């Protein structure tokens, strides 16, 4: 017997219920912070239930007074009923306002928490998800969690309290009516297992489809210039219509299941209601109860049936809730970046910032998750007041090396560290605060030029911003703008050319005054003369900055201290002849 019980428990843990239980425990980690809120909301609901039941009792007395089955003051009783109805209305408004306020507050706090956790999730793992999928999970799924935390447990308690209290009243006045409250339960129990599996699958399909739609929309609007340039408008409209067709088919499939279930349950509810009416009429004609009591029983019968329906409706709620939790857990439970060395990095920087900091990579191995080997024993170094170049054809690993240096990726072997004399510290996510980074492409945010600059140095003065713009050769065009550094930059750097946006990005990186500057093809949109001028300005700057440049253009290699070429998965130092040959062949 024990073996069978253990086997059954094991099957549950390994199956759907076990998965839902783990997801519920995860939700509890958030829910426990809001227990006072849930108690308040629950008490409001329970008070509303008590008022509703008192209204049924007063209504019974009023009917009995009118029909002569009971003596009493009709005006007083009627006034009490009006007062209870007004109180119910007032309480409902308070409850709705409180629910809205608390829901918004909880939603904001949970989203902020999940947002912060996503941002410190391992970058390489995070890139396996589409941006649209991440947005859907963070937006819709997080909102589902916050709504569920506030509503599910309180509503479950309220519905159970409402059912028990209404059932107790029925038992007190006429136990024979109690049987009608349970007539529909066998049907619900028979449907529960089938509905559970189908609801879980439907919720997963719906979430996946929502993510697909969100991803399509996000990519389309982000690349609308490319779509127009390639005359792909009709293609993308057709793709949208196809996605909409798939979505409609999915929703109609869900609706068919919902219609069948609702039709069956509604039929059962109607049969129960009519049975209650028939039994009530019989009891009145047999003088077992009064008209007022029958009215109260019919009202309570509706309450019992409705409450059972509400309790049943919590099943899809918990399924949707756990499905959302599972989708968020997929991301939140991925490896986190380690920022435990923040204090050590700050101390290291304060100790050595006046003389600068060197970068050293030795015997580094890295392979992608698919097994593709990018580096095998790669080494390079760069020191303060140096510009070091990393060259090679596109796709050979230049950007991968930058990401390894920034600890966005983790090498399988080798060492990578920052050093000053004999003092060293390994590269970790904590050491990113010592880097300024200018990646490929347009990385400016919407807002003013000054706001973009102060993203990396909030206390920067206007003069400091202008000095950085001069170093990056951006002040030449910014000075001609009507609002100068307060000029607006549109989304994705709109309003400026690629070359101008690159110079603004370089200025932002220089303004941060980090000891190490990484330029990843950051001058690709500049003409050769401007590119050389920007790099010479960086070299001439008194700040002890270590600069690493990745480029596929050899036009600036002659002004670099060292040039590394990626060959045979290693970083090989080029001699002057090899550099001159590259420059001549460009």
Give the pair of three-digit tokens for residue 149. 């935390």
Cα R_g (the chain), whole angstroms: 34
Cα–Cα nearest to 158, from 107, 99, 118? 99
- Which of 387, 335, 341, 312 is closest to 539 using CA atoms? 387
> What is the CB-side half-sphere exposure of residue 543 using CA atoms within 13 A?
16
pTM: 0.70
Confidence at residue 130, expressed as pLDDT on a 0 to 100 scale = 77
Q: Which two tokens stand for residue 42?
A: 């629950």
Q: Which residues of the chain have pLDDT under 70?
A: 1-17, 68-72, 178, 180-204, 222, 225-226, 229-230, 258, 261-262, 265-266, 269, 273, 312-313, 441-442, 492-493, 555, 584-586
Residue 278 has what pLDDT? 78
- Give the count of beta carbons closer than 10 Å to the beta carbon of residue 395: 9
Residue 403 CA, chain-centre distance (Å), reads 24
* E strand or H helix at 363: strand 358-367
- Find the length of the chain: 586
Q: Where are the domains of the chain?
A: 15-332, 342-585
Among candidates 571, 546, 572, which has minimal Cα distance to 560?
546
- Residues 516-569 have pLDDT tens digits of 988 887 777 777 788 778 878 877 777 888 888 887 777 677 778 888 888 888
- For 123, counting Cβ atoms within 10 Å of its Cβ (0-12 exposed, 13-18 middle, 19+ buried), the class is middle
Residues 103, 106, 110, 115, CA torsion sign = positive
pLDDT at position 265, please? 66
pLDDT in tens, 257-272: 767 766 776 677 677 7
Q: Which CATH architecture has domain 15-332?
A: Up-down Bundle (1.20)
How far, in Å, CA of 268 to CA of 305, rounded? 10
Q: What is the pLDDT of residue 9?
A: 47
Task: Provide the CATH topology of domain 342-585.
Answer: Rossmann fold (3.40.50)
Angle at 468 between CA 475 and CA 435, to 5 degrees: 140
In Å, how far are 188, 229, 256, 305 from 308, measured between CA atoms?
10, 58, 23, 5
Euclidean distance between CA atoms 464 and 467, whole angstroms: 5
Query: Beta strand pairing status for 423-426 and 413-420?
Result: antiparallel
Instruction: Encode pLDDT of 60-108 as tens digits.
Output: 777 777 776 555 577 777 777 777 778 778 877 877 777 777 777 778 8
Instruction: Give pLDDT, residue 4.
Output: 46
Q: Is the dihedral of CA 135, 139, 145, 148 positive or negative?
A: negative
Looking at residue 76, its pLDDT comes to 76
């Amino acid at each position: 017997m024990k073996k069978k019980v253990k086997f059954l428990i094991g099957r549950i843990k390994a199956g759907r219920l076990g998965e839902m239980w783990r997801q519920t425990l995860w939700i509890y980690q958030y829910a426990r912070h809001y227990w006072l809120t849930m108690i308040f909301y629950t008490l409001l609901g329970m008070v509303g239930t008590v008022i509703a039941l008192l209204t049924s009792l007063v209504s019974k007395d009023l009917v009995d007074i009118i029909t002569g089955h009971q003596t009493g003051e009709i005006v007083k009783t009627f006034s009490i009923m009006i007062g209870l109805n007004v109180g119910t209305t007032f309480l409902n408004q308070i409850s709705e306002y409180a629910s809205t306020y608390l829901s918004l507050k909880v939603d904001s706090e949970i989203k902020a928490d999940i947002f912060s956790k996503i941002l410190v999730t391992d970058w390489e793992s995070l890139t396996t998800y589409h941006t649209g999928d991440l947005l859907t999970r963070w937006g819709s799924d997080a909102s589902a969690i916050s709504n569920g935390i506030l509503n599910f447990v309180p509503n479950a308690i309220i519905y159970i309290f409402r059912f028990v209290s209404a059932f107790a009243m029925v038992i007190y006045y006429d136990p024979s009516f109690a049987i009608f409250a349970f007539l529909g339960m066998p049907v619900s129990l028979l449907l529960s297992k089938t509905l559970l599996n189908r609801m879980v699958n439907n919720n997963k399909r719906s979430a996946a489809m929502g993510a697909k739609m969100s991803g399509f929309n996000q990519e389309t609007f982000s690349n609308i210039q490319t779509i127009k340039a390639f005359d792909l408008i009709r293609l993308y409209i057709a793709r949208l219509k196809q996605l909409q067709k798939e979505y409609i088919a999915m929703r109609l499939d869900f609706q068919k299941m919902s219609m069948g279930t609702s039709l069956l349950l509604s039929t059962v509810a109607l049969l129960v209601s009519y049975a209650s009416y028939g039994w009530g009429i019989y009891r009145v004609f047999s003088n077992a109860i009064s008209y007022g009591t029958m009215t109260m029983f019919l009202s309570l019968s509706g309450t019992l049936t409705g409450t059972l329906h509400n309790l049943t409706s919590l099943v899809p709620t918990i399924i949707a809730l756990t499905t959302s939790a599972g989708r968020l857990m997929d991301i939140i439970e991925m490896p986190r970046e380690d920022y435990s060395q923040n204090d050590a990095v700050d101390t290291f920087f304060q100790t050595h910032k006046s003389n600068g900091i060197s970068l050293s990579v030795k015997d580094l191995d890295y392979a992608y998750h698919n097994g593709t080997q990018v580096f095998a024993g790669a080494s390079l170094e760069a020191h303060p007041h140096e510009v070091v170049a990393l060259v090679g054809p596109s796709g050979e690993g230049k950007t991968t090396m930058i990401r390894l240096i920034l600890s966005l990726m983790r090498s399988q072997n080798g060492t990578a560290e920052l050093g000053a004399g004999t003092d060293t510290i390994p590269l970790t996510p904590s050491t990113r605060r010592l880097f300024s980074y200018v990646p490929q492409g347009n990385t400016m945010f919407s807002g003013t030029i000054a706001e973009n600059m102060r993203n990396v140095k909030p206390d920067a003065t206007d003069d400091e911003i202008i000095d950085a713009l001069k170093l990056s050769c951006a002040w030449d065009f910014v000075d001609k703008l009507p609002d100068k550094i307060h000029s607006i930059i549109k989304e994705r750097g709109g309003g400026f050319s690629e070359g101008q946006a690159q110079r603004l990005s370089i200025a932002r990186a220089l303004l941060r005054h980090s000891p190490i500057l990484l330029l990843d093809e950051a001058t690709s949109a500049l003409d050769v003369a401007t590119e050389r001028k920007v790099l010479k300005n960086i070299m001439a700057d008194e700040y002890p900055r270590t600069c690493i440049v990745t480029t596929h253009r050899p036009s600036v290699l002659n002004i670099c201290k060292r040039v590394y070429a990626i060959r045979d998965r290693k970083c090989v130092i080029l001699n002057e002849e090899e550099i001159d040959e590259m420059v001549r062949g460009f």
